C-alpha cells in the first residue's frame, strides 16, 4: 500500500488532499462523496484517462509513419507497437517498483508480481465480502492496478518519442534493447526523484504531468541517440546544405497529431490523480481547458510565424506547433489561468518554428522534429510553471534544478547505452540497407507495395 | 454562475431537473446520489463526452483528406487542425460569453477571462477547504470549465463542416478569417437564441444536440460559400455534364466516418448535460442507442437505394448515409423511441442519396457532400422532433421557426462575410494554382510525394 | 426486467454480486456507494466501455483495408461499415431478445421494441419524479439500454471477424445476408447458452468477455466460409507453393491493430458488467492490466519467434501477435494473476506464428489471418481459464464442452447458410471480377485512384 500512498500524495493537488481526508474521516453528514464512491471515481479516472494515453501510442505510430519515407514505413510501425509492448512488460517487471518504492529497497520488493494489493485480492476472492474488507480497500483511495495502468502508459509515451527522431537508419534490435533499458530503468529512476516522492520533489520541483519527467526524458534520449547515430546519408551536404526528405503520407501525420491531442486530455487530466471530490473534478476541468488552449495557441502561432518567415505555411510545422503547445502546458495545466495557458502554448509553438531549423544547422538529424517539440518545449513548459508560482524566483530555481538533473542523468546514461550498443552489436544499418530502406533490409517487406515506385522512389 | 445556470436549465431534460432539485434540497435519507457526487458525475460527463466530440475534428480531417484529390490533401489537413485551433481560441475569447450570457450585456463580461468561476477558484486555492466552500461549488451543478469545454467542441464541429464543401479552390487565409467570425460570432449569436435561453427556446424550438444549431449552421455557411465561390474548374461541363473528381484515399474517408460515428456518442450523449441521477443515466443510454440505430439505418437505406437506382453501391454514399443518419437523430435522440430512431435515420440516409446528385444539378460544387449530409438531414431531423411531440402541429411550427430563423441569419451573415472577403483579399486561388493543386501553390509541399504521379495525376 | 436480471447475474463476478446486494438492501450507514450512485456508475461503465468496443469496428475496417490489395480496398471498407450497421439493426430487432430472454418464449416478446424498460420510461416521462419511481429504476442495477448497447457492440465484433478472412472474392450481398443471419440468430442463440444463463453456464463453462462466445464464433464462421468459398485465384500453386499477396497499406493495418487494442479495454473491462462498488472498480483495473500485459506478450513472443524462425520480423505477424494475445486473455482476464496474463498472451502470440503458415498448408485462404488470431487463440484462451480455476480438471472439461458445443453449432449452421447462398444466388464473384478487383467490379470505383497503377498493379 505504500506505493500508492506515496504516489497519491506526491502527484495530488493540495485542495484535493484536504478533501479526501474529510471524506475518509467522516460519515456522510453533508451531501458529499462517500469514501467508496470516491474510490470508484478515482479508479475510473485512472482507467479512462489511462486508455486515452495508451491511444497516444497509436498517435506516435501514425505521426512517424506519415513523416518517414515509404521505404522505412513498415519498420517504424513495427517499432511503435514493439516499444509499447516492451514498455508495458518492463514497467511491470521492474519499472513501477523502482519508481514508486525506492531504488535502495528495490531488490526485496517483488511481491506485487503475484498480483495486485493484498486487500483487493482478499475482497475479490471473498465468498462474502465484509464491510471491513471493503473499508480496507477503500482506504487506499483507488485501485492499485489502475494507478499502475496509468503510470505505465506514461513510460510508453517517453519511449515513443525516441523512435521518431532515430528513424530511417537505426537497427531494429539495438533500438529495442535501448527501449528495455529506458522503460525498465532510466525513466523510473529519474521518475522516482519527483513523482516517487524523492529528492527533486523535496526540492520543490513541480512537473504536473511530465513536461520534463516524460517529454524531456524522451527528448534527451532521442537527442543523445541522434548525435551518436549520425544523420541519414545525404541529409546534410558538405557545403552545409540541407537536403529535405519529406514524409510520405501527411494525412497519417495529421491523424497522429490529432490522436496525440485527444490522448493528452488523459495525459494531463488524469494526472490530477483523483476524481472523487468536487475540487478534483473542477481541477480536471481546468486542466482540460488549459491543455486545449495551449495546443490551439501552438498551432496558430506556428502557422503565423511560418507564414511571416517563409511566406508559406508548412503543415508539419503546424502539427509540431500543436505538439509543442501540448508539451509546454504539461508541467502546469493546473496552476495557470487560461490566458497564461494560451501564452505558454503559443511560446511553445514559436519555439518549435525556430528549433527545427536550428537542429538542422547543428546537423542533428531528427526525422520527425521530436527533439524540438518534446525537449525544447518541455524545458520551456517546465520553466513556465514559475510564472504562476507564489514566488517566481524560488520556483524558477527549483525548476532549473529538475531540468538540469534530469537532463544530465538522461544524457549520460543514454549516451552510455547508445555507445555500448554502437561498439558491440552496432547501432546503424549499413549504407546499402539505408539506401534500400529498412523495410526491405530488416523486414523483407514493403509498407505500400502497390503505390508509386515503392522503396526505389527517393 | 449565471452562465451555467442558464445553460443547465436550458439544455436539460425535465425529468432530470426535478431530480437535481430533489438531490440538492435534501440530505441523503434514501440511497440516492449525493449533491457532490452528482457534481462529479455531471462534470465528468462533460469531459468524457467532450473529448469524444473533440475527436470528431480528426474525423472531419480524415473524411475530407480521403475525399479530396492528392494535390489538395495537405491543405485540407492544415485547414482542419487550424480551424479547430481557431475555434478553441475564439470561443474562449468571445463566443461562449456571447452565447450563454447575452448579446446585450456582453461587453461588460470579460471577467471569466481571468479564470474559471470564483467559487471553484476559492476552493482550489484554499489551504484548507471548508464545507461551505465545497457547497458553494457544488451548487453550480457542474464545473464551469467542463461546460465550456463541451460547448467549445460543438462550435469546432460547425466550423469543420464548412471546410470540406469549399475544398480544392478556396484560399487558406480567407477561409481562416471566415472561421474566426463563424466561431467567435455567428455560431454563438444564433446559439444564444436557443441554448442560451433566448427567444427561440421561448418559442418552443427544440434541438437536443444541434441538428439545426450546429449541423445546419455549418451547412448554411458551407452552401453560401459554395455558391459565392463557384464550382471547381472543370467540374461542370457547359452541356450540363458532371465531371467526377473522385477522392484519393477512401480508407481514410471510411476512417473519418467511423470517427464521427464514435464521437457522436459524445455529441448526443453529453447533450443531456447531466449524469448525476438515475434518470440522467437512463436518458443518456437511450440517446446512445437511438444515435446508433439512426446511423445504422442511414447506412442500410443509402446502400439499398444506391443498389436499386444505380445497380452499384457507392462507398462514399454509404458513408454519407451514416453521417446523415447521425445528423437526423441529433435534434431528438431523447424523445424518440427506438423504432422512430430507425425511421428518422433511414429517411436521413435516403435524403442524402437524392440530395447529392441534386446539388450537382444545381451546379453547387460540394466536394464532400457536407451540405447534403449536414444541412438537408439537419432540417429533416429538426422537423422530425415534432413526430414525437405532444402536439405535432404546435411543435412543427416551432421547429419551422427555428429552421427559418437560423437559416436566414446564417445565409445573410455568411454571405456578407464571404462577399467582403471575395471583393477585398479575394476568396479563390487563381486558375493556375487550382490546376497545380493548393498543396504546391499555397503550402509548397505534397501530401504523398512518393505515390503515383502526385499532383500531376488528374 | 427479467432480461437484465438474467444478464446481470450471469456475467457478474461473485464479489460484485454480494456487494450490490449489500448496497441495495441497506441505508448508507457506512461511507459506501448509494444504490442510485451505483446505478449511474454501472450504466456509465456500459456506455464508456461500449463506445470503446464500437470503435473496434473502425479497427477491423482499418486492419482489413491495410491487408487487402488496392483493388479490393473500397469493398472491404464498405463491408465493414455495412456489417456494423446490419448488426446494430438485427441485434435490436431480434438478437438481444433471443440471447437474453430465451429461444422458446421468444416469439411473444416483442414488447421492448416500443422502447426501453417501463420503469425507466415512467421516470423519464414524469412531470414530477417520485422517490418510488426512482427506486423502481434503480432496482434494475443499470439502465436497460446501456446493457443493450454494450451487448450490441459485441455481436458487431463477431461479424467483423468474418469479413477479413473472406475478402477479395466474396460477393457483397451474399456476405450481407450471412451477416444478417449471424447477428440476428446464430450469435444470439449460442450466446444464450452461456451469457443468457443457459445450459453452458450451468455446466460451468466460463468465458468472461468472449474468447469463445465472440471471437471463436466469428472465427468458425470465417473458417467455414473460407473452406466453402475456396482460395483466391492464384494464391496456391498446383505444386503446393504459396503465392504471397501482400497488403497494400501497412500503416493502416497498424492503426487498425492499435484501435483494436484500445477498444479491448472496453471489451474486457466492461464485461465486469458493473462499476458501482470498490470491488467492481478494482476488478476492472485488474482486467485492464491483464488485457494489456497479454497483448504486450503476444507482440514480443511473435517478434522473437519470427526472428528466430525466419531471420526477419514480419510486421503483420507482430500485429496478429497483439490480436492473438488480446483474444487469448479475453476468456479470463479477471481470474488470472499478472504473470499468468503474460503467459496466456505470449502463448497466443506463439500460436498465431504457427497457425498462419499452417492455414496456408491446408490451403485455407485467410486474407488477414483472422482464423488464426481469433479462433485458434480463442480456443487457447478459453482452455487457459482452467489454469486459474479451483479445480483444473473440472474447469477444463467445462471449457471443452463450451468450445465443442459452440464450434459444432457454428460450423454446422454457418455451413448451411454458406452452402444455401452458394447454390442459390452464388457466393463468389466470377474470375474476371476477381482479377479486376471487387472495387471496380462490384462498386465501380477505386479506393486510391491516383496511387500507383491502381487495380492493375498485381
- Who's near A215: CB < 8 A, 6+ residues apart? A157, A158, A161, A327, A330, A374, A375, A377, A378
Task: State whether residue B60 is helix, strand or coil.
Answer: helix
Q: Which phi and psi (to 5°) does residue A33 adopt?
A: -80, 130
Q: Between chains, do C124 and B262 touch, taking CB under 8 Å as contact?
A: no
First-to-final CA distance of chain A? 56
Q: Which residue of B has its CA nearest to A40?
A: B37
DSSP C292-361: HHHHHHHHHHHHHHHHHHHSS--HHHHHHHHHHHHHHHTT-TTTS-HHHHHHHHHHHHHHHHHHHHHHHH
> Which pTM value belongs to this model?
0.94
Among B48, B281, B340, B447, most C C-beta atoms within 10 A, so best to mutate, is B281
State the virtual CA torsion across C244, C245, C251, C252 in degrees, nearest 10.
Answer: -140
d(CA B348, CA B359): 16
Backbone angles phi, psi at A234, to 5 degrees: 90, -5
**DSSP-assigned letters across all residues of C389-448:** SSSHHHHHHHHHHHHHHHHHHHHHHHHHHHHHHHHTT-SB--HHHHHH-HIIIIIS--SS
Phi first, then psi: give them for residue C385, nearest 5 degrees.
Answer: -55, -35
Which residue, chain included where needed, has cell 503475484?
Answer: A114
Q: Do C446 and B246 touch (CB under 8 A)?
A: yes
DSSP string, A266-313: HHHHGGG---SSHHHHHHHHHHHHHHHHHHHHHHHHHHHHHHHHHSS-
Distances (CA, A) of C175 to C172, C408, C421, C427: 5, 21, 9, 8
Search chain B and give the residue with CA nearest C115. B337
**How many other C-beta atoms are found inside a 10 Å radius of the C-beta of residue B200?**
24
Torsion angle in degrees (nearest 10) through CA of C423, C425, C427, C430? 110
Residue B420 Cα to chain centre, angstroms: 25
Could you tell me the maximum CA-CA distance found in chain C, to the nearest angstrom?
A: 77
Examine the pLDDT at C3 and tell me if it is beyond 60. Answer: no
Which of A15, A16, A23, A31 would you mutate first to test chain B, the one with the most B CBs within 10 A? Answer: A31
- Among residues 5-44 of chain C, which lie with CB inside 8 Å of chain A? 13-15, 18-19, 22, 28-34, 37, 41
Min Cα distance B258 → chain C (Å) is 6
Chain A CB contacts of B90 under 8 Å are none
Give the closest of C277, C279, C338 to A115, CB-based.
C338
A282–B137: do the CB atoms touch at under 8 Å? yes
Which residue in A34, A137, A51 sits closest to C15, CA to CA? Answer: A137
Q: What is the mean pLDDT of residues C422-433?
A: 97
User: What are the tens digits of pLDDT across the range C81-107?
Assistant: 999 999 999 999 888 888 886 444 444
- pLDDT score for C105: 44
To the nearest whole angstrom, how far is the Cα of A392 from the nearest Cα of chain B?
Answer: 17
Q: CA-CA distance, A32 to C32, in Å (whole number)?
A: 12
Helix (H, G, I), strand (E, B) or coil at C248: coil
Which of A:83-112 have CB within 8 Å of C? 84-86, 88-89, 92
Spatial distance between the Cα atoms of C185 and C175, rounded to a whole number of angstroms: 15
Phi-psi region of C277 (alpha: psi -120 to 50; beta: other; left: phi over 0): beta
- How far is C-alpha C32 from the chain's CA centre? 35
**Terminal CA-to-CA distance of chain C, rounded, Å?**
56
With contacts defined as CB-CB under 8 Å, which chain C residues touch A114? Answer: 337, 339
Buried b (16+ CB within 10 A) or exposed e, A1-13: eebbebbbeebbb
How would residue A11 be classed by pLDDT, with cut points 50, 70 and 90? very low
Query: Chain B contacts of C148, Cβ < 8 Å?
Result: 289
Instruction: Determine the residue among C36, C155, C266, C438 to mutate to test chain B binding: the one whose Cβ has the most chain B Cβ atoms within 10 Å.
Output: C36
Cα distances from B287 to residues B292, B426, C151, C283, C330, in angstroms, run: 9, 44, 16, 28, 29
CATH code at A38-457: 1.10.3430.10
Evaluate whether A326 touches A298 at the Cβ level (below 8 Å).
yes
Distance, CA of A72 to CA of A332 (rounded, Å): 36
Q: What is the mean pLDDT of chain A?
A: 89
CB atoms within 10 A of CB A396: 16
Q: What is the CA radius of gyration of chain C?
A: 22
- Residues A193 and A202: their CA atoms lie apart, in Å, by 9
Q: Which residues contact A454 (CB under 8 A, 6 or more apart)?
A: A70, A71, A446, A448
Q: B297 and C27: CB-CB below 8 Å?
A: no
Distance between CA atoms of residues B46 and C374, nearest Å? 36
Res A307: pLDDT: 97
Selection from A47, A64, A223, A57 nearest residue A155 by Cα: A57
Q: Tell me which chain B residue has its CA closest to the CA of residue C29.
A: B31
Which residues of chain C have a CB within 8 Å of the CB of A70?
none
Q: Phi/psi at A194 (nearest 5 deg)?
A: -115, -70
Share the mean pLDDT of chain C: 89
Task: Record the cell numbers describing residue A90, joined without a space.
Answer: 518492463
Residue-wise DSSP of A385-440: GGGGSSSHHHHHHHHHHHHHHHHHHHHHHHHHHHHHHHHTT-SB--HHHHHH-HII
User: d(Cα B264, Cα B281) in Å, to the nearest integer?
Assistant: 17
CA distances from B234 to B164, B169, B363, B426, B431 (A): 18, 12, 11, 21, 11
* pLDDT reported for residue B125: 87
Please state, in angstroms and rounded to a whole number, the distance separating the CA atoms of residues A38 and A25.
13
What's the Cα-to-Cα distance from B312 to each of A232, B5, B7, B244, B303, rounded to whole Å? 48, 52, 47, 16, 9
Q: φ, ψ for residue C170 (rounded to 5)?
A: -85, 145
Subunit partners of chain C (3 or more CB pairs within 8 A): A, B
In angstroms and rounded to an integer, the radius of gyration of the C-alpha atoms of chain B is: 22
- Please answer yes or no on whether B275 and C77 come within 8 Å at the CB atom: no
pLDDT at B9: 31
A279–B124: do the CB atoms touch at under 8 Å? yes
Residue position matching grid coordinates 472465427 = C219
Task: Pick left, alpha or beta for residue A363 (phi over 0 → left; psi -120 to 50 → alpha; otherwise beta).
Answer: left
State residue A457 phi and psi, 5-degree precision. Answer: -70, -40
H helix or E strand, kind and range, residue C37: helix C35-67
Q: How far apart are CA C456 and CA C445, in angstroms?
A: 13
Residue of B278, B283, B8 lying closest to B141 (CA atoms)? B8
- Is residue A129 less than 8 Å (CB to CB) from chain C? yes
The per-residue pLDDT string of chain B (458 residues; one tens digit each, 9 = 90 and over) reads 222 223 333 333 333 333 333 333 334 456 789 999 999 999 999 999 999 999 999 999 999 999 999 999 999 999 999 999 999 999 998 898 888 864 444 443 444 454 567 888 889 988 888 999 999 999 999 999 999 999 999 999 999 999 999 999 999 999 999 999 999 999 999 999 999 888 999 999 999 999 999 999 999 999 999 999 999 999 999 998 999 999 999 999 999 999 999 999 999 999 999 999 999 999 999 999 999 999 999 999 999 999 999 999 999 999 999 999 999 999 999 987 899 999 999 999 999 999 999 999 999 999 999 999 999 999 999 999 999 999 999 999 999 999 999 999 999 999 999 999 999 999 999 999 999 999 999 999 999 999 975 434 44
pLDDT at A453: 59
Cell of A145: 492496478
Cβ within 8 Å of residue B341, ≥6 positions away: B289, B290, B291, B293, B294, B297, B329, B333
Asked if B177 and B40 touch (Cβ cutoff 8 Å), the reply is no
Q: What is the CA radius of gyration of chain A?
A: 22
CA distance A136 to chain C (A): 10
Crossing angle (nearest 10°) for helices B172-181 and B392-423: 140
Q: What is the rounded average pLDDT of the residues C105-130?
A: 69
Instruction: Give the tens place of pLDDT for each residue, A98-128.
Output: 888 644 444 434 444 545 688 888 899 888 8
Cα separation of B271 and B157, whole Å?
Answer: 14
Determine, for residues B282 and C138 on separate chains, whether the beta-carbon distance falls below 8 Å.
no
Q: Report the pLDDT averaged over residues A201-213.
A: 97
Cell of B236: 461542370
Look at residue A170 and give its three-state secondary structure: strand
Cβ neighbourhood burial of A139 (10 Å; 0-12, 13-18, 19+): middle
Distance CA(C6)–CA(C4), nearest Å, equals: 5
Q: How far apart are CA B317 and CA B338, in angstroms?
A: 24
Which residues face A242 on adjacent strands?
A236
Amino acid at each position: 500500500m505504500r506505493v500508492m500512498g506515496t504516489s497519491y500524495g506526491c502527484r495530488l493537488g493540495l485542495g484535493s488532499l484536504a478533501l479526501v481526508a474529510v471524506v475518509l474521516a467522516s460519515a456522510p453528514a453533508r451531501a458529499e462523496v462517500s469514501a467508496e464512491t470516491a474510490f470508484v471515481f478515482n479508479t475510473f479516472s485512472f482507467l479512462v484517462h489511462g486508455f486515452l494515453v495508451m491511444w497516444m501510442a497509436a498517435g506516435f505510430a501514425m505521426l512517424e509513419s506519415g513523416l518517414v519515407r515509404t521505404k522505412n514505413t513498415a519498420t517504424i510501425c513495427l517499432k511503435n507497437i514493439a516499444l509499447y509492448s516492451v514498455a508495458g512488460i518492463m514497467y511491470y517487471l521492474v519499472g513501477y517498483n523502482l519508481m514508486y518504492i525506492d531504488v535502495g529497497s528495490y531488490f526485496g520488493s517483488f511481491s506485487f508480481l503475484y498480483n495486485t494489493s493484498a486487500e483487493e485480492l482478499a475482497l475479490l476472492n471473498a465468498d462474502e465480502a465484509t464491510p471491513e474488507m471493503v473499508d480496507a480497500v477503500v482506504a487506499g483511495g483507488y485501485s492499485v492496478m489502475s494507478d499502475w495502468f496509468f503510470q505505465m502508459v506514461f513510460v510508453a509515451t517517453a519511449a515513443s518519442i525516441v523512435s521518431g527522431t532515430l528513424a530511417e537508419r537505426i537497427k531494429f534490435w539495438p533500438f529495442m534493447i535501448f527501449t528495455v533499458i529506458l522503460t525498465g530503468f532510466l525513466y523510473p529512476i529519474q521518475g522516482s526523484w519527483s513523482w516517487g516522492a524523492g529528492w527533486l520533489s523535496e526540492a520543490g520541483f513541480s512537473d504536473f504531468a511530465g513536461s520534463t519527467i516524460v517529454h524531456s526524458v524522451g527528448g534527451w534520449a532521442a537527442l543523445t541517440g541522434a548525435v551518436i547515430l549520425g544523420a541519414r546519408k545525404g541529409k546534410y551536404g558538405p557545403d552545409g546544405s540541407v537536403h529535405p526528405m519529406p514524409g510520405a503520407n501527411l494525412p497519417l501525420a495529421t491523424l497522429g497529431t490529432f490522436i496525440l491531442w485527444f490522448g493528452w486530455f488523459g495525459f494531463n487530466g488524469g494526472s490530477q490523480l483523483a476524481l472523487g471530490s468536487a475540487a478534483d473534478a473542477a481541477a480536471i476541468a481546468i486542466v482540460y481547458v488549459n491543455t486545449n488552449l495551449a495546443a490551439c495557441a501552438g498551432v496558430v502561432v506556428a502557422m503565423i510565424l511560418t507564414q511571416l518567415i517563409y511566406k508559406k505555411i508548412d503543415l508539419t510545422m503546424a502539427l509540431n506547433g500543436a505538439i509543442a503547445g501540448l508539451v509546454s502546458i504539461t508541467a502546469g495545466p493546473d496552476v495557470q489561468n487560461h490566458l497564461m495557458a494560451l501564452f505558454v502554448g503559443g511560446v511553445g509553438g514559436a519555439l518549435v518554428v525556430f528549433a527545427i531549423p536550428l537542429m538542422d544547422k547543428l546537423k542533428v538529424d531528427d526525422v520527425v522534429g521530436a527533439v524540438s517539440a518534446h525537449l525544447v518545449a518541455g524545458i520551456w513548459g517546465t520553466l513556465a510553471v514559475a510564472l504562476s508560482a507564489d514566488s517566481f524566483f524560488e520556483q524558477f530555481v527549483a525548476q532549473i534544478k529538475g531540468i538540469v538533473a534530469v537532463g544530465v542523468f538522461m544524457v549520460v546514461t543514454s549516451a552510455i547505452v547508445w555507445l555500448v550498443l554502437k561498439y558491440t552489436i552496432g547501432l546503424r544499418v549499413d549504407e546499402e540497407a539505408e539506401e534500400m530502406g529498412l523495410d526491405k533490409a530488416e523486414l523483407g517487406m514493403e509498407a505500400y507495395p502497390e503505390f508509386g515506385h515503392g522503396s526505389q522512389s527517393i
